[in-house]
Amino acid sequence: MRTKIFLILLLFTAFTGFGQQDAQYTQYMYNTININPAYAGSRGAMSIFAMHRTQWVGLDGAPVTNVASINTPLNDNNLGLGVSFVSDKIGPTNETTISTDFSYTIPASENYKLSFGIKATANLFNLDISKLNPVDSYPLDPSMQNIDNQFSPNFGAGLYLHSDKAYIGFSIPNFIETNRYDDNETAIFREKINYYLIGGYVFDINSTLKFKPAFLSKMVVGAPLQVDVSGNFMFNEKFVLGIAYRWSAALSAVVGFQVSDGMYIGYGYDRETTRLNNYNSGSHEIFLRYEIFKNNGKIITPRFF
């Protein structure tokens, strides 16, 4: 019994002690497809995206996340399609998620469009017990087994209202709650339903400077409300500089560069504002986006989102 209690506490710390369910991102405004399927095709171009995030550097077993996605409008029939891949490693666990997103867009006004989206997801969960390090007085139970590619399906939906300067969206990426490591006595970790609300607006300060405040809020039943707010400046439609704050959690700096009409690269650095700051040297996040634009290969007004 003591061994089982120890293992439960250890895995519970790995998952919920870190205070996150879905993987979190500092530059969420560029990675919307992973949380809202209605975003698929909304940029009017084929958008290819890749991101690497190393969280809480120096802390043993801290999250490491890799993301790859592609989304595009389908012809001129208001349909969008997206496919995304997420690999999320935390301590002895590794989750791989593959999602397909479909969207349908209708005009909401002269300047705004409203998109509806659905998401279908396949999740593979792995647990490597050799990476657990129990204290001598609480060795692992010999009956403990690895988990190899435990499959679970899911589905979600979202709404996304957007124009060239503004957006607001609501989404639930996963409607099904899934137990992880359920030994018929205790479900050590349950992947709960995450609710997302996002929004942003681009202000034209002058002909060479734009400013975009944005927010993301995430609600999970039984966990504190997570709120991210950010402010980014774009200079000459080429260089982006900004700061972000995750409420009662972290302060971030972000920088980005529009390398060409189709290529954008961004970097973010987080520093914890909690006591966890004493045990790590921050989090790093870098992404690359490449787009194949319409309109003779160019986009007239590069967007922040």
One-letter amino acid at 275 equals R
pLDDT category of residue 165 using cuts at 50, 70 and 90: very high
Supply the pLDDT for residue 154.
Answer: 95
Residue type at 133 in one-letter notation: N
For residue range 226-235, what is the model confidence (pLDDT) as tens digits? 999 999 999 9
Q: Which of 91, 119, 110, 92 is nearest to 35 (CA)?
A: 119
Q: What is the pLDDT of residue 143?
A: 57
Place of tokens 């171009």: 45
What is the Cα 219 distance to its own chain's centre?
14
Q: Taking 60 as the threshold, does the pLDDT of residue 4 lie above it?
A: no
pLDDT at 7: 42
Cα–Cα nearest to 179, from 140, 144, 147: 147
pLDDT of residue 51: 97
Task: Compute CA distances 191 → 103, 132, 187, 237, whole Å.
Answer: 25, 21, 10, 40
DSSP designation for 17: I
User: CB-based burial of residue 37 (10 Å sphere; 0-12 exposed, 13-18 middle, 19+ buried)?
Assistant: buried
Pairing outcome for strands 250-258 and 239-246 = antiparallel
Residue 14's pLDDT is 41
Structure tokens at 7: 């293992």
DSSP-assigned letter for residue 39: G
What is the chain's mean pLDDT, rounded? Answer: 84
pLDDT of residue 144: 64
- What's the pLDDT tens digit per position in 191-221? 788 999 999 999 999 999 999 999 999 998 8
Q: Which residues pair with 296 in a beta bridge?
A: none
**pLDDT on residue 91:** 86
Could you give the CA distance from residue 172 to residue 184 in angstroms, rounded to a whole number?
Answer: 28
b/e code 102-136 from CB counts within 10 Å (16+ = b): bbbbeeeeeeebebebbbebebbbebeeeebeeee
**pLDDT for 294:** 63
Whole-prediction pTM value? Answer: 0.85
Q: What gap in Å lies between CA 67 and CA 93, rounded to an integer?
A: 17
Q: How many CA atoms lie within 13 A of 87 on its CB side?
A: 8
**Residue 119, pLDDT above cutoff 60:** yes
pLDDT digits (tens, 9 = 90+) for 29-73: 898 999 999 999 999 889 999 999 999 999 888 999 999 999 999
User: What domains appear along the chain, each with residue ranges and CATH number?
Assistant: 1-7+33-292 (2.40.160.40)
CB neighbourhood size of 185 (10 A): 7
Span 68-89, pLDDT tens digits: 999 999 977 799 999 999 999 9
DSSP class of residue 30 equals G
pLDDT of residue 231: 96
**CA dihedral over 240, 246, 251, 252, signed as positive or negative:** negative
User: Quick one: pLDDT band at residue 1, thresholds 50, 70, 90?
Assistant: very low
CB-neighbour burial class of residue 147 (10 A; exposed 0-12, middle 13-18, buried 19+): middle
